[in-house]
Amino acid sequence: MSDRASFIELTGVTKSFTKGEHRITPLEDVSLQVREGEFLTLLGPSGSGKSTLLNLVAGIDRADRGTVTVNGRDLTSMSARALTAWRAENVGYVFQLHHLVPVLTAYENIELPLFLLPLGKEERHARVSLALEAVGLTDRHDHFPRELSGGQEQRVAIARAIVAGPSVLVADEPTGDLDHESATATLELLSRLNQEQGKTILMVTHDRDATAYGTRTLTLHKGKLIDAEETVS
């Protein structure tokens, strides 16, 4: 890591869940620093805490212990209402399954997050148009999800994630449901957003080959950070 200030910082973070009679701890005393503009990839087996880490950074879950800070904001001290408003403006989330609304067009799916912001119709249109252009789907704006390929659906999902201009983009197995060609195209798109737009990206993946598109790789195992490998200086 360089001496540049951390954009995302987790300090001594522990997160547990109750499942039946058992207490599960996906993350235990984890500390992590991410610089602004990094494309961090997270490797590890199922249950190792990767998705939980993403959800903490995105403000979806709260840590039981420790602090989570993003761009100077301590998420652990924010009220639920403040956290919801912060997340709408600052976080874009890309899922493995696209979670598109089937009765809405690509344009309308991308526009959805903007209704949480104080924007007029013209500003929403301008932002959706830019997002469609960024993912190369301007000519598919009026298509419904059923009329798109799996790769195109994921590009719509990425456009939806970036349309509000978030400072952080988190992606949970974004290529896990795609064929090789579509997966490669998705990873290239995320890399381009990182390199050309400076998006700070955290991506969970089981595919070690996918880490080549990031700038740094971390490995989680049984709730602990056990390995870190710098892929780009």
Q: List the chain domain ranges.
A: 6-230
pLDDT at 68 over 90: yes
Q: What is the mean pLDDT of residues 167-174?
A: 91
CA angle 48, 69, 27 (to 5 degrees): 15
CB 138 within 8 A of CB 176: no
pLDDT at 5: 65
Whole-angstrom distance, CA of residue 82 vs CA of residue 85: 5
pTM exceeds 0.75: yes
Q: What is the DSSP string of 79-132?
A: -HHHHHHHHHHHEEEE-SS----TTS-HHHHHHGGGGGSS--HHHHHHHHHHHH
pLDDT at 227: 58
Q: How confident is the model at residue 233 (pLDDT cuts 50, 70, 90)?
A: very low
- The pLDDT tens digits of the residues spanning 106-124 come to 999 999 999 988 999 999 9
- Cα dihedral 117, 121, 126, 129, rounded to 10, equals 100
CA 182 to chain CA centroid, nearest Å: 18
What is the share, in percent, of the chain residues with pLDDT greater than 70?
A: 94
CATH topology of domain 6-230: Rossmann fold (3.40.50)
pLDDT at 228 over 60: no
CB 201 within 8 A of CB 194: yes
